Amino acid sequence: MSEGARPDHHRFGGFISQRSQQRLLDTLRAKGIRNEDVLETFAKIPRHEFVEEALRSRAYEDTALPIGYQQTISQPYVVALMTQLLLTGRERLKRVLEIGTGSGFQTAVLSRVSARVFSIERIGALAGRAYQKLGSLGIENVSLRHGDGANGWSAKGPFDGIILTAAPRRVPDTLFSQLSDQGVLVAPEGSNRQQRLLYWIKQDGIALRHQSIDVVFVPLKSGQA
Ligand code: SAH
């Protein structure tokens, strides 16, 4: 195809999306994402499928976008960083718990680095939409639940990775009890406007805390909607 005859920006699945996806990969690399397995997931998962039609042309920008219900699909760099941290020292995971399914994009990323993924979303309409989307993309190793994720999902644990995509002031203790030994928990922690991305590695029953970057996430809320 000649330079002058590009398909329009809304024809996804084609030339433009591949090119903007490639550009996003370059951005993630430039920002320090080194894990090739993580980068590979970003090359494989169509992020434009997880945002509404009107925002599709922006799906491969490195930015958070609204998904309705005052929630957002997380910034790609943050999704990549959290996944890289979750994998710390491991090539693949067996069982991951995600709290805050949202659009399901992070869930789809996790489904490629973990044998099983369990994800909880408190807003029923988002949980339903993510269920449809993941199904339509043929992703089968994910179990979704509509509910308050603050108490985890003990019946399915222990997990070798737990990830929160909404920010609590303090990560609830019960989540650490569902983390297996050598497991990693990744979460933003802080006030509504300002949070620090933290990760804990559990060793001999003790979770050691490490700090990453400053982030802005929607707050972890209690109850379901
Ligand atoms: N990873 C998602 C992030 C969505 S925003 C994505 O990229 O699309 C965070 C999500 O966490 C929101 O959908 C919000 O409804 C959900 N959430 C907030 N508190 C929750 C809780 N206690 N339990 C489960 N989900 C929660």
Asked if pLDDT for residue 11 goes beyond 90, the answer is no
106 belongs to a structural domain = yes
- Looking at 15-29, 78-92, 130-144, which range is the least confident one? 15-29
3-state secondary structure of 118: strand
Tell me what percent of the residues of the chain surpass a pLDDT of 90.
Answer: 89
Residue 10: band (very low, low, confident or very high) from pLDDT cuts 50, 70, 90? very low
Tell me what percent of the residues of the chain surpass a pLDDT of 70.
Answer: 93
Q: Which domain holds residue 117?
A: 3-215
Q: Which residues on neighbouring strands pair with residue 55, listed in sequence order?
A: none
55 belongs to a structural domain = yes
Closest by CA to 177, choosing from 195, 197, 150, is 150
**Which CATH number covers residue 138?**
3.40.50.150
Q: How far is the CA of 180 from the centre of ligand 1 (A)?
A: 23
Residue 50: band (very low, low, confident or very high) from pLDDT cuts 50, 70, 90? very high
Residue 192 confidence (pLDDT): 85
Identify whether the C-beta of residue 133 lies closer than 8 Å to the C-beta of residue 98. no
225 belongs to a structural domain = no
114 is catalytic: no
The pLDDT of 112-124, averaged and rounded, is 98
Closest by CA to 67, choosing from 52, 79, 80, is 52
The total number of structural domains in the chain stands at 1
> Which ligand 1 atom lies nearest to the CA of residue 120?
24
Which residue among 72, 217, 221, 224 has the greatest number of ligand 1 atoms within 8 angstroms of its CB, and so is best to mutate? 221
Q: Whose CA is nearest to atom 17 of ligand 1?
A: 100
The binding-site residues of ligand 1, defined as CB within 6 angstroms of any ligand atom, are 67, 71-74, 99-100, 102-103, 105-106, 120-123, 126, 148-150, 165-166, 218, 220-222
| Type of residue at 64 | A
> Which ligand 1 atom lies nearest to the CA of residue 98?
1
Strands, E assignment, the chain: 65-68, 71-73, 93-99, 114-121, 142-146, 159-164, 179-190, 195-203, 206-215
Q: Per-residue pLDDT tens for 141-169?
A: 999 999 999 999 999 999 999 999 999 99
> Which ligand 1 atom lies nearest to the CA of residue 72?
5
222 belongs to a structural domain = no
Which candidate in 17, 20, 74, 114 is catalytic?
74
DSSP secondary structure letters along 34-65: --HHHHHHHHHS-GGGGS-GGGGGGTTSSS-E
First to last CA, the chain: 48
The long-range contacts involving 20-28, CB below 8 angstroms and separated by at least 24 positions, are 20/59, 20/60, 21/47, 21/60, 23/60, 24/60, 24/61, 24/62, 24/76, 27/62, 27/76, 27/77, 28/62, 28/76, 28/77, 28/80
Residue 16 confidence (pLDDT): 61
Q: How far is the CA of 5 from the centre of ligand 1 (A)?
A: 41
224 belongs to a structural domain = no
Q: Whose CA is nearest to atom 7 of ligand 1?
A: 73
220 belongs to a structural domain = no
Q: How far is the CA of 3 from the centre of ligand 1 (A)?
A: 41
Asked if pLDDT for residue 6 goes beyond 80, the answer is no
> Which ligand 1 atom lies nearest to the CA of residue 150?
22
